[in-house]
């Protein structure tokens, strides 16, 4: 089996993760990783705190706290939220003060610099006289010169276009809200345009990238790509390891790719040279569409420039923004639902299923608390009823022992085979879709409800042997459900399979067609939030 490295965009430790974050790369990467592990693949899911991101010092300034303390506190909160959501990350490191990470990134940077791959240029830059600081990225805000949406410097989240901060419309300093002046600085820039041919060849050969990302990449490569600034005059970030550029830091987006490579090495799962790739190593990245330029262009081009067979992001799975009650998440306007808060009252499985069902994989979608409770109630009234009807029947009529059956009936086998084939597509990369997987699971429950009504209930009155036969088939259907649902709802899966008398250690994908019936069942009946959580209108 190939060794697969899975990454999700490093979260910025300027606050907790909200459900928009969770609905994006973190949940998707976890569900994919769980499925591949079920198939027997060697998977490592890694990410790290984006400690050197410019949003850290701007948030620290707004909150009047030390940015180092902010990073330490919020990385702990983020890790707790991920854990509460049952998002299992094999390595989550913190780069701030991490000598190994810093030296690795600087080594990567120096190799490019010493090989003449970075260009020294003097360029316009915004400067705030009141704050006495250069403005870029989150230090400046204005309107995007392309789509006119609110944007920070260097990137517009709304349209995904990179921008030159000096071209923002009505730019303002994020710290003091004053209009900045334009001055100049001399820094190092990376000529992405030099690698346009290699980039385009790589993009057009991708079979798992979503169509929106391919079209975006073709659009960017259809134009001249400006040299990208990889150093800035600032005091927050990794120092540039070139004496001439003392007082400058490495652009955090340029840091990210070597940061991923170092994470792989730090996890003791990539023991070759720094960048050497083996044929059986695969890198899969999950990220928000607004980060497409950095991962698809900046990181790839830097790997091409390094020319050392770097491990490349063979697969990039993007998602769009997730809305909250039809509005964009906004921490400044207190319009957010934080992971730590919602997971305090709601089981992770319930949230994970709803986020999958409404996932923003191809367009903006919406989280509604009322809709969430409606879906939960439906699961109680459908999923739980199906399970409990079987549990009650076996406990009351057969003393907790499932009737034995040597062969599964054709109809039950077809239901399982159909669902297995569909989920293999939706959980894997070629057609990866959390929405389709969640809908498939709902369809599977409908099939089980119909099987109960059409087979078991009538046979209980007319043919006792056939009745026992169908109950045995139903045990097989429910046990298969535990396998099917595990990537999305791991706790529910384990509880269900335990209640059916099986072992969670049997949860490998190849066992679905082998585990027929379990002998002795349990008597747990509650799997979801009680129906008393009614929606209010």
Report yes or no: 488 and 438 within 8 Å, Cβ to Cβ. yes
My answer on whether 427 and 460 are in the same domain is yes
Q: Does 502 have pLDDT greater than 60?
A: yes
Last residue of a domain, one of 287, 312, 345: 345
Domain assignment of residue 236, yes or no: no
pLDDT in tens, 359-413: 999 999 999 999 999 998 888 889 988 998 998 898 889 988 888 877 777 788 8
Taking phi over 0 as left and psi of -120 to 50 as alpha, with beta for the rest, 159 belongs to alpha
Instruction: Work out the number of other CB atoms within 10 angstroms of the CB of residue 66.
Output: 10
Which CB contacts under 8 angstroms, 24+ apart, belong to 239-248? 239/106, 240/109, 240/188, 241/106, 241/109, 241/110, 242/110, 242/113, 242/188, 245/187, 245/188, 248/187
Distance CA 446, CA 459 (A): 19
- The answer on pLDDT for 505 being more than 80 is no
Q: Averaged over 206-229, what is the pLDDT?
A: 94
Distance separating alpha carbons of residues 530 and 42, to the nearest angstrom: 38
Alpha-carbon span 64 to 163, nearest angstrom: 29
Residues 377 and 505 in one domain: yes
- DSSP type of residue 290: G
Task: Evaluate whether residue 113 is within a structural domain.
Answer: yes
How far apart are alpha carbons 17 and 11 in whole angstroms?
Answer: 8
Separation between Cα atoms, residue 478 and residue 464, nearest integer Å: 21
Q: Are residues 373 and 261 both part of a single domain?
A: no
What DSSP line would sit under 449-484, residue for residue? Answer: HHHIIIIIHHHHHH-HHHHHHHHHHHHHHHHHHHHH
Please check whether residues 378 and 484 belong to one and the same domain.
yes
Check whether residue 7 and residue 102 sit in a common domain.
Answer: yes
State whether residue 193 is helix, strand or coil.
helix
Helix or strand or coil: residue 295?
A: helix
What are 31's two structure tokens? Answer: 């569900």
Residue 92's CB is within 10 A of a number of other CB atoms, namely 18
Kindly state whether residues 471 and 422 are assigned to the same domain.
Answer: yes
> How far from 397 is each of 386, 456, 460, 468, CA to CA, in Å?
17, 13, 11, 10
Please give the Cα distance from 64 to 41 (Å, whole number). Answer: 46
Q: Is residue 154 part of a domain?
A: no
Question: Tokens 């297995």, residue?
Answer: 420
Q: What percent of the chain has pLDDT over 70?
A: 91
| Residue 402 falls inside a structural domain | yes
Report helix, strand or coil for 136.
coil
Query: pLDDT value at position 522?
Result: 67
Three-state SS annotation for 311-350: CCEEEEEEECCEEECCECCECCCCECCEHHHHHHHCCHHH
Same domain, 374 and 340: no
Q: What angle do CA 229, 275, 192 make, to 5 degrees?
A: 25
The closest alpha carbon to 153, from 381, 164, 506, belongs to 164
Query: Where residue 310 falls among pLDDT bands split at 50, 70, 90?
Result: confident
Quote the domain boundaries for residue 79: 3-117+196-203+254-345
End-to-end CA gap in the chain: 51
Query: pLDDT band at 330, cuts 50/70/90?
Result: confident
CA distance 480 to 493: 10
Strands annotated E in 144-255: 150-152, 169-173, 181-190, 228-229, 231-233, 248-250
Q: Identify the CATH number of the domain in which residue 373 sits.
A: 1.10.730.10
Burial class for 64, CB neighbours closer than 10 Å (0-12, 13-18, 19+): exposed
Task: Look at residue 274 in the predicted model and tell me its pLDDT.
Answer: 40
* Segment among 25-39, 91-105, 455-469 with least mean pLDDT: 455-469
- Residue 161: the pLDDT is 84
Residues 377 and 332 in one domain: no
Nearest to 223 by CA among 196, 250, 248: 196
325 and 395 co-located in one domain: no
pTM: 0.93
Which pLDDT score, from 0 to 100, does residue 412 have? 87
Q: What is the CATH number of the domain that holds 91?
A: 3.40.50.620
Summarize pLDDT for 255-300 with one digit per residue, the tens.
999 999 999 887 655 444 444 444 578 999 999 999 999 999 999 9
Region 480-504 average pLDDT:
87
Is a pLDDT exceeding 70 seen at residue 11? yes
Helices (H) and strands (E) in the chain, counts: 19, 16
Separation of alpha carbons 128 and 135, rounded Å: 7
Q: Which two tokens stand for residue 430?
A: 């070629």
pLDDT at 495: 87
Radius of gyration of the chain (CA): 26
3-state secondary structure of 153: coil
- What's 130's DSSP letter? T
Give the DSSP letter of residue 116: T
Is the pLDDT score of 230 beyond 80?
yes
Same-domain status, 338 and 389: no
Same domain as 339, residue 487? no
Q: Using CA atoms, how far apart are residues 385 and 389, in angstroms rounded to an integer? A: 6
Cβ-contact 352, 85 below 8 angstroms: yes
Domain endpoint, select from 329, 345, 361: 345
Q: Per the structure, how many domains does the chain have? A: 2
Task: Indicate if 376 and 450 belong to the same structural domain.
Answer: yes
Question: How many CA within 13 A on the CB side of residue 329?
Answer: 23
Task: Say if CB 236 and CB 252 are below 8 A apart.
Answer: no
Residue 239 lies in a domain: no
Residue 310 lies in a domain: yes
**Cβ-contact 21, 77 below 8 angstroms:** no
276 inside domain: yes
> pLDDT digit string (tens) for 111-153?
999 999 999 999 999 999 999 999 999 999 999 999 999 999 8
Picking from 345, 378, 412, the residue at the C-terminal end of a domain is 345
DSSP annotation string for 477-510: HHHHHHHHHTTT-HHHHHHHHHHTT--GGG--GG
Instruction: Please say if the pLDDT value at position 516 is more than 60.
Output: no
pLDDT at 277: 45
pLDDT of residue 484: 96
The answer, yes or no, to whether residue 231 has pLDDT greater than 50, is: yes
**Residue 218 resides in a domain:** no
More confident call, 51 vs 274: 51
Q: Is 182 helix (H, G, I), strand (E, B) or coil?
A: strand
């Amino acid at each position: 089996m190939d060794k697969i490295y899975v990454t999700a965009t490093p979260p910025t430790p300027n606050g907790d993760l909200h459900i928009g974050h969770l609905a994006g790369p973190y949940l998707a990467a976890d569900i994919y990783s769980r499925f591949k592990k079920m198939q027997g693949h060697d998977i490592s899911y890694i990410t790290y705190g984006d400690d050197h991101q410019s949003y850290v010092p701007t948030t620290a300034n707004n909150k009047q706290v030390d940015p180092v303390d902010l990073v330490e506190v919020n990385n702990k909160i983020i890790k707790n939220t991920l854990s509460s959501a049952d998002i299992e990350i094999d390595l989550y490191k913190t780069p701030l003060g991490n000598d190994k990470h810093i030296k690795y990134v600087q080594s990567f940077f120096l190799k490019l610099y010493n090989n003449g791959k970075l260009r020294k240029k003097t360029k316009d830059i915004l400067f705030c006289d009141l704050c006495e600081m250069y403005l870029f990225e989150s230090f400046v805000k204005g309107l995007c010169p392309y789509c006119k949406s609110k944007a920070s410097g260097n990137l517009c989240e709304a349209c995904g276009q990179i921008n030159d901060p000096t071209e923002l419309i009505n730019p303002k300093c994020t710290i003091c809200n004053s209009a900045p002046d334009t001055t100049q600085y001399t820094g190092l820039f990376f000529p992405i345009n030099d690698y346009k041919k290699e980039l385009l060849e790589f993009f057009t050969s991708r079979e798992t990238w979503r169509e929106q990302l391919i079209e975006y990449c073709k659009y960017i490569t259809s134009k001249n790509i400006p040299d990208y600034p990889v150093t800035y005059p600032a005091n927050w970030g990794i120092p540039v390891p070139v004496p001439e550029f003392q007082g400058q830091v490495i652009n955090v987006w340029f840091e990210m790719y070597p940061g991923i490579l170092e994470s792989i090495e730090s996890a003791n799962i990539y023991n070759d040279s720094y960048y050497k790739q083996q044929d059986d190593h695969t890198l899969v990245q999950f990220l928000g569409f607004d980060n497409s330029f950095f991962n698809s262009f900046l990181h790839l081009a830097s790997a091409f420039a390094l020319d050392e067979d770097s491990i490349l992001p063979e697969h990039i799975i993007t998602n769009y923004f997730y809305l909250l009650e039809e509005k964009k998440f906004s921490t400044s306007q207190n319009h957010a639902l934080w992971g730590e808060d919602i997971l305090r009252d709601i089981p992770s499985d319930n949230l994970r299923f709803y986020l999958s069902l409404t996932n923003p994989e191809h367009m903006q979608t919406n989280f509604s608390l009322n809709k969430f409770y409606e879906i939960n109630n439906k699961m109680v009234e459908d999923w739980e009823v199906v399970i409990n009807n079987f549990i009650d029947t076996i406990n009351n009529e057969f003393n907790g022992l499932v009737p034995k059956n040597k062969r599964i009936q054709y109809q039950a086998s077809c239901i399982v085979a159909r669902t297995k084939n569909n989920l293999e597509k939706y959980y894997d990369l070629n057609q990866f879709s959390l929405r389709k997987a969640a809908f498939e699971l709902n369809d599977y429950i409908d099939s089980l409800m119909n099987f109960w009504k059409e087979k078991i209930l009538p046979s209980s009155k007319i043919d006792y042997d056939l009745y026992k036969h169908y109950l045995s088939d139903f045990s097989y259907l429910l046990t298969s459900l535990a396998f099917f649902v595990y990537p999305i709802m791991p706790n529910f899966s384990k509880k269900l399979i335990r209640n059916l008398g099986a072992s969670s250690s049997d949860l490998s994908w190849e066992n679905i067609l082998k585990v027929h019936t379990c002998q002795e069942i349990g008597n747990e009946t509650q799997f979801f939030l009680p129906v008393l959580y009614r929606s209010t209108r």
